[in-house]
Amino acid sequence: MKPPWDGGDLVEETIRTHRGVADAIAARNPTAAHDAMYLHLVYNRNMIAEGAEAKGI
């Protein structure tokens, strides 16, 4: 199984989470925008940590 940071899964997740942020901003919902951005950052932090662990860093 390929790790999520190595292929289309990360791209798809990035697009999905950025769309959530943009949709919340368009809806003038700052709480939803904050939450969507927070989830995006948490997901990316986890992917970076998993990638570093897989590489023994």
3-state secondary structure of 29: coil
Q: Which of 15, 2, 14 minimizes the C-alpha distance to 50?
A: 2
Taking only the tens place, the pLDDT of each residue in 5-42 is: 566 777 888 899 999 999 999 999 999 999 999 998 99
C-beta separation of 37 from 21 below 8 A: yes
Q: Is the pTM of this model over 0.75?
A: no
Neighbours of 32 (CB within 10 A): 15
Task: Please report the pLDDT score of residue 20 as a whole number.
Answer: 95
Task: Please report the pLDDT score of residue 7 as a whole number.
Answer: 60
Q: Is the pLDDT of residue 55 over 70?
A: yes
